[in-house]
Chains A and B, each alone.
Chain A
Amino acid sequence: MYKILKAEKLADKIYLMDVEAPRVAKHCQPGQFIIVKMDEKGERIPLTICDYDRDAGTITIVFQEVGASTVKMAELKEGDSFCDFTGPLGCPSEFVEEDIESLKNKKMLFVAGGVGAAPVYPQVKWLKEHGIDADVIVGAKTKDMLILEKEMEAVAGNYYPCTDDGTYGHAGMVTTKIEKLVEEGKKYDVCVAIGPMIMMKFTCLLTKKLEIPTIVSMNPIMVDGTGMCGACRVIVGGEVKFACVDGPEFDGHLVDFDNAMKRQQMYKTAEGRAMLKLQEGDTHHGGCGNCGGDN
């Protein structure tokens, strides 16, 4: 069992938890992810690592309620436990392996959308710890949905919050902020964009035009997360890759986002039915004719 040492609601439908997982905490690096399973009958849910404390043996995860399983997960409190917690999985971010001195000569821009701020944070923090200041754009729908602001500000070189509705920071999508910074004369050697698929797609379209090499972190459907099932196939540069072992980070200019977005729809209806069953509980008696609620 993996104990939850802290459980906190960061924003509407977004939660943070510190989980005791010494083996994972000892070996994880920025860019990697974990798989969590709530109980015997739960799904294996891949989540990016938001932070880690090697001494305390803990991992910080941040997740958003998107389906029945994450809604259930959000109900867990401090002191509760996850039945299973596996990791670290996937490859670390490329820069972790790079020569620090040459890295210091690169200007890096991080672009986070929504909960994407969580996986961006440990990368920016790692760079800060190695004496490198990176610029960070974090976008959210509205002010209340911005997460990890204080933490991000503390480790970022320049921190640029954006809101779609203009309630805070730059008004508009993250892409308009990138354009603005470049127009103002900022030069970037590398961009790392993590967030919803659609946000990564448009960021990549823009950075391709601006000729900034861009890395994205893919979060496709997964089952085992160790290379066994192939559910997480993504097309990168015309080749099929497994996000769990070859990624999750890839060259964003080579990723086929349209295919990736279609693949994410695979279980949408099953997910919807599971959600309905969860919300309506015993009062759900079918009617949809599909979900087995009438059995």
Chain B
Amino acid sequence: MADVLKRVPVREQDAKVRATNFEEVCYGYNKEEAMEEAGRCLNCKNAKCIQGCPVSINIPAFVSKVKEGDIEGAYEVIGESSALPAICGRVCPQESQCESKCIRGIKGDPVSIGKLERFVADYALENDIKPKKAEKTNGHKVAVIGSGPSGLTCAGDLAKLGYEVTVFEALHELGGVLVYGIPEFRLPKQKVVKKEIEKVKELGVKFETNVVIGKSTTIDQLMEEEDFEAVFIGSGAGLPMFMGIPGETANGVFSANEYLTRSNLMKAFDDSYDTPIAAGNKVAVVGGGNVAMDAARTALRLGAEVHIVYRRSEAELPARVEEVHHAKEEGVIFDLLTNPKEILVDENGWVKGMKVVKMELGEPDASGRRRPVEIPDSEYEIELDTVIMSLGTSPNPLIASTTKGLETNRRKCIVAEEENGQTSKACVFAGGDAVTGAATVILAMGAGKAGAKGIHELLSNK
């Protein structure tokens, strides 16, 4: 009998092998492993894990279905709360959400809720189990802007309630950050994202790509000319930030957004696609978040020696522990407590290195983390040919600046109520990174659900 305090280990691609390919890192559980792991769940009456889930999945209920081997039943339970379980099972920070509340975690490993969710969702994708559709439409038209996690969730929830939903996407591909931001090796595009979006389509949601709201048309025009009664804005936080240090416009300096978009959305890593990417031989990724890890691991797979340059220490890395662990395993080098001062440029305008300074941690700052301060006279130069800036993103002002009466805050985020997504403009709702600034997929999904609820309350009382 296996040790009940330990979770059933999940199989992964060997670190040395996967550092050279774009195949998925984690293989996930098979049915036997999933049932064994589900057996560890104590099925708590007052289940804390549900409180830890931003979309309140009935976790003990789906886990008991898995335990019984009723995977289709488990999928139905998850489907009541989440439209994108195959995605969440892969990219949610479960360790700080549902799993952090698990009673099993007090003495041993918490139940692998994320891996179980992923198994159930993958089973549904492989066996083509369809989500439950509304019996008939209610005739109300709703527009959703952006096909990322918040938009897909909002659209899916409304379609289930019978609304006629159209999702407008600015890019040529559906999925938002799921396709342009998160790399293939963490979230397969064909096998998972595309299929998960197919399920939303099966609910009756219509999609229109290549429509940039604010340019191709506006929210006011959608409501006045195309008869949409309500609009949900899930346009994300797409604008990259730079440091403002000398040399940042040199050739070989990229935003993480550009680097990842080239590789993920445009598939530059695959030779049969036309978009080029400057792979680099020696790459520095500046920043310590999940996006920085994604960029670093992408550059590594394209054949470069990769350094993460981060101004605080390992304890403060904002990235998920699992991502940092995977990056290290694969050979990404961490230059911690190090901050760039200047990018050094050769006579042809290309990056040749970076001047950095050593840092130490001082007093805690507003975020509660200890503030990094420069160590005097500790500057040195590193040789590089590529620098990827991964310093966070802010919302695109395109929608706010073209929609009358839509209030934004100082950080250019759209102001919206947390419980129902209502903005300052009547019949317009918003959620996800466009409201909060860059956050996680699951928080955006939670906001998409709240928006759907708000829109339903508005239109069902009409």
B254, CB-defined interface residue at 8 Å: yes
Q: Contact between B273 and A41 (Cβ–Cβ < 8 Å)?
A: yes
Residues of chain B with a CB closer than 8 A to A43's CB: 266, 274-275
Q: Residue of A at shortest CB range from B253?
A: A233
Contact partner of B215 (CB less than 8 A), chosen from A69, A84, A89, is A89
* Complex Cα–Cα for A233 and B271 (A): 26
B184, CB-defined interface residue at 8 Å: no
How many chain A residues touch B (CB < 8 A): the figure is 42
Q: Contact between B238 and A227 (Cβ–Cβ < 8 Å)?
A: yes
* Complex Cα–Cα for A67 and B238 (A): 29
Q: Residue of A at shortest CB range from B396?
A: A227
Residues of chain A with a CB closer than 8 A to B266's CB: 43-44, 223
Q: Contact between B238 and A223 (Cβ–Cβ < 8 Å)?
A: no
* Complex Cα–Cα for A24 and B215 (A): 8
Q: Mark A206-244, 1 if CB is under 8 A from B, else 0.
A: 000000000000000001101111110111000010000
User: Which among B38-46, B78-86, B194-202, B204-212 touches the partner chain?
Assistant: B204-212
With contacts A86-B170, A227-B238, A233-B249 known, is A262 near B261, CB below 8 A?
no
Shortest Cβ-Cβ A-B pairs, 6 listed = A262-B349, A229-B258, A270-B276, A84-B172, A230-B255, A228-B238
Residues of chain B with a CB closer than 8 A to A228's CB: 180, 238-240, 257, 261, 396
- Listed in ascending order, the chain B residues whose CB lies under 8 Å from chain A are 170-172, 180, 209-212, 215-217, 238-240, 242, 244, 248-252, 254-255, 257-258, 261-262, 265-267, 271-276, 278, 348-349, 396, 398
* Complex Cα–Cα for A68 and B276 (A): 11
* Complex Cα–Cα for A240 and B172 (A): 27
A87, CB-defined interface residue at 8 Å: yes
Min CB distance, B249 to chain A, in Å?
Answer: 5
Q: Contact between A265 and B251 (Cβ–Cβ < 8 Å)?
A: yes
* Complex Cα–Cα for A224 and B177 (A): 13
* Complex Cα–Cα for A245 and B267 (A): 24
A102, CB-defined interface residue at 8 Å: no
Q: Mark A121-158, 1 if CB is under 8 A from B, else 0.
A: 00000000000000000000000000000000000000
Within 8 A of B (CB), among A233-280: 233-235, 240, 245, 259, 262-263, 265-267, 270-271, 274
Residues of chain A with a CB closer than 8 A to B209's CB: 84
Residues of chain B with a CB closer than 8 A to A42's CB: 274
List 14 additional A-B contacts (Cβ < 8 Å) besides A23-B211, A240-B244: A37-B172, A44-B266, A84-B172, A84-B210, A86-B216, A89-B212, A226-B396, A227-B396, A228-B180, A230-B242, A245-B398, A259-B349, A265-B251, A266-B278
Dominant SS among interface residues on chain B: loop
Q: Contact between A41 and B272 (Cβ–Cβ < 8 Å)?
A: yes
- Listed in ascending order, the chain A residues whose CB lies under 8 Å from chain B are 23-24, 26-27, 37, 41-44, 68-69, 83-89, 223-224, 226-231, 233-235, 240, 245, 259, 262-263, 265-267, 270-271, 274, 292, 295
Q: Contact between A226 and B238 (Cβ–Cβ < 8 Å)?
A: yes
Min CB distance, A66 to chain B, in Å?
Answer: 13
Min CB distance, A242 to chain B, in Å?
Answer: 8
With contacts A231-B254, A267-B278 known, is A226 near B398, CB below 8 A?
yes
Q: Contact between B273 and A265 (Cβ–Cβ < 8 Å)?
A: no
Residues of chain B with a CB closer than 8 A to A224's CB: 170-171, 180, 261, 265
Q: Contact between A88 and B251 (Cβ–Cβ < 8 Å)?
A: no
Q: Contact between B276 and A292 (Cβ–Cβ < 8 Å)?
A: no
Q: Residue of B at shortest CB range from A23?
A: B216
Q: Residue of B at shortest CB range from A91?
A: B215
Q: Contact between A27 and B249 (Cβ–Cβ < 8 Å)?
A: no
Min CB distance, A152 to chain B, in Å?
Answer: 27
With contacts A43-B274, A226-B398, A230-B242 known, is A87 near B258, CB below 8 A?
no
Q: Residue of A at shortest CB range from B241?
A: A230
Q: Contact between A86 and B212 (Cβ–Cβ < 8 Å)?
A: yes
Q: Contact between A27 and B215 (Cβ–Cβ < 8 Å)?
A: yes
Residues of chain A with a CB closer than 8 A to B217's CB: 23, 26-27
With contacts A37-B172, A44-B172, A295-B271 known, is A266 near B251, CB below 8 A?
yes
With contacts A23-B211, A230-B258 known, is A262 near B276, CB below 8 A?
no
* Complex Cα–Cα for A262 and B274 (A): 22
Residues of chain A with a CB closer than 8 A to B251's CB: 262-263, 265-266
Residues of chain A with a CB closer than 8 A to B272's CB: 41
Residues of chain B with a CB closer than 8 A to A270's CB: 276, 278
Q: Residue of B at shortest CB range from A38?
A: B274
* Complex Cα–Cα for A224 and B274 (A): 15
Q: Contact between A227 and B239 (Cβ–Cβ < 8 Å)?
A: yes
Residues of chain A with a CB closer than 8 A to B172's CB: 37, 44, 83-84, 86
* Complex Cα–Cα for A71 and B57 (A): 52
Q: Contact between B210 and A41 (Cβ–Cβ < 8 Å)?
A: no
* Complex Cα–Cα for A265 and B219 (A): 39
* Complex Cα–Cα for A232 and B296 (A): 22
Q: Residue of A at shortest CB range from B267?
A: A41
* Complex Cα–Cα for A233 and B251 (A): 11
* Complex Cα–Cα for A23 and B214 (A): 12
Q: Residue of A at shortest CB range from B255?
A: A230
Residues of chain B with a CB closer than 8 A to A85's CB: 210
Contact partner of A235 (CB less than 8 A), chosen from B249, B262, B267, B396, is B249
Q: Contact between A274 and B274 (Cβ–Cβ < 8 Å)?
A: yes
With contacts A43-B274, A259-B349 known, is A230 near B257, CB below 8 A?
yes
Q: Residue of A at shortest CB range from B239?
A: A227
Residues of chain A with a CB closer than 8 A to B211's CB: 23, 86
Residues of chain A with a CB closer than 8 A to B180's CB: 224, 228
Min CB distance, A226 to chain B, in Å?
Answer: 5
Q: Contact between A259 and B249 (Cβ–Cβ < 8 Å)?
A: yes
Residues of chain B with a CB closer than 8 A to A245's CB: 396, 398
With contacts A228-B238, A262-B348 known, is A223 near B278, CB below 8 A?
no
Residues of chain A with a CB closer than 8 A to B249's CB: 233-235, 240, 259, 263
Q: Contact between A87 and B349 (Cβ–Cβ < 8 Å)?
A: no
Residues of chain A with a CB closer than 8 A to B170's CB: 86, 224, 226
Min CB distance, A263 to chain B, in Å?
Answer: 6
Residues of chain B with a CB closer than 8 A to A86's CB: 170-172, 210-212, 216
Residues of chain A with a CB closer than 8 A to B244's CB: 240
